[in-house]
Structure 1
Amino acid sequence: MLAILAAAALLADATADVAKLAWLAGSWVHEKDGVTVRETWLAPKDGVMGGVGQTNRPGKKPFIEYVKISAEPAGATFTATLPGQAPTPFVLLPGKDGEAVFENKAHDFPQRVIYRRCDPDLCAAVEGEVKGKLQREEWRYRRVR
């Protein structure tokens, strides 16, 4: 019985953490060097936010990524689903308001997915170690709606 109560409390905390990420909701676009990256997030509801990302490069097929942030026993969890790959979870680390750092140390690259408000924009990054060196990719999105 205590285990069930503890699990329920953890899920309640994770649900509250997902709700705190409402600032991420909306449609965002990053354009640079002919490449357009769009990301759209639904507002949190019942411990879940759904999202999709699309990258368009000249002369290449668009790349689509499905993402979600959900309340899980491990905490608020960002899960990315890329074509041909199993879903990959990243757990929210404690941090300040207006910033979300999700981590999965066991993943090859990235190990961290980062979002933060850069009013009025949204800054995002992925980072991790590759062959012992920190690698990082960054995007600065402007709100589309």
Structure 2
Amino acid sequence: MIAALIAALALDGAAEVAKLEWMAGSWVSERDGVVVRETWLAPRDGAMAGAAQTNQPGRKPSIEFTRITAEPAGVTFTAIVGSQPPTPFVLKPGADGEAVFENLAHDFPQRVIYRRCGADLCARVEGQVKGKLQGDEWRYTRIKP
């Protein structure tokens, strides 16, 4: 009985991850000399893997690894940045074509948001800093193979 419940929850989680297929692909955002490239593998068996690289003139490139997985807490976006421990953000219910991942216990950001903007992929990070909402946004265009 418990094994069947766990299997059903895993299938539900995998189906929820599969709904994020619209994020899959390689994307680029260029703004004020800063180039951010982000790639997401298509969902498979309840998981997506991602990587991002930020290049800024005069600075060492920044690399981030991410994953979206079906977890007991729900669909979870986990960011792995530098030597910091992995940081999980849980998907909140929302509209198709938008994913809001939240971790209110994290300092900043507390939300990671992706949404489709026509053919583009838009992303935002946001959270409270000293009682004020702060954030940053990117508009990515698809990188042609």
The TM-score normalised by the length of structure 2 is: 0.96
- What corresponds to 1:71 in structure 2? 70
CA distance in 1, matches of 2:106, 2:5: 28
- What corresponds to 1:9 in structure 2? 8
CA distance in 1, matches of 2:37, 2:16: 24
CA distance in 1, matches of 2:7, 2:131: 39
**What is the CA RMSD across the aligned residues, in angstroms?**
1.0
CA distance in 1, matches of 2:131, 2:13: 32
Where structure 2 has 5 or more consecutive residues not aligned to the other structure, the ranges are none
Does 2:127 match 1:106? no
CA distance in 2, matches of 1:92, 1:7: 19
Q: Secondary structure at the match of 2:5?
A: helix
Deviations 1:78-119 (A, max 9, x none): 000000100000000001100000001110000100000001
Shift of 1:44: 0.4
Answer whether contact 1:121 1:142 (CA < 8 A) is retained. yes
Deviates more, 1:49-58 or 1:7-16: 7-16
Deviations 1:14-72 (A, max 9, x none): 11110000000000000011000010000001111000000000011000000000111
Q: Which amino acid aligns with 2:18?
A: A
Alignment of 1:1-145 (within 5 A): 1-2=1-2, 4-145=3-144
CA distance in 2, matches of 1:137, 1:15: 29
Answer whether contact 1:7 1:73 (CA < 8 A) is retained. no
CA distance in 2, matches of 1:42, 1:50: 5
- Identical columns (%): 69
CA distance in 2, matches of 1:10, 1:105: 24
Shift of 1:10: 2.5
The TM-score normalised by the length of structure 1 is: 0.96
Shift of 1:7: 3.2
CA distance in 1, matches of 2:104, 2:33: 32
CA distance in 2, matches of 1:15, 1:120: 25
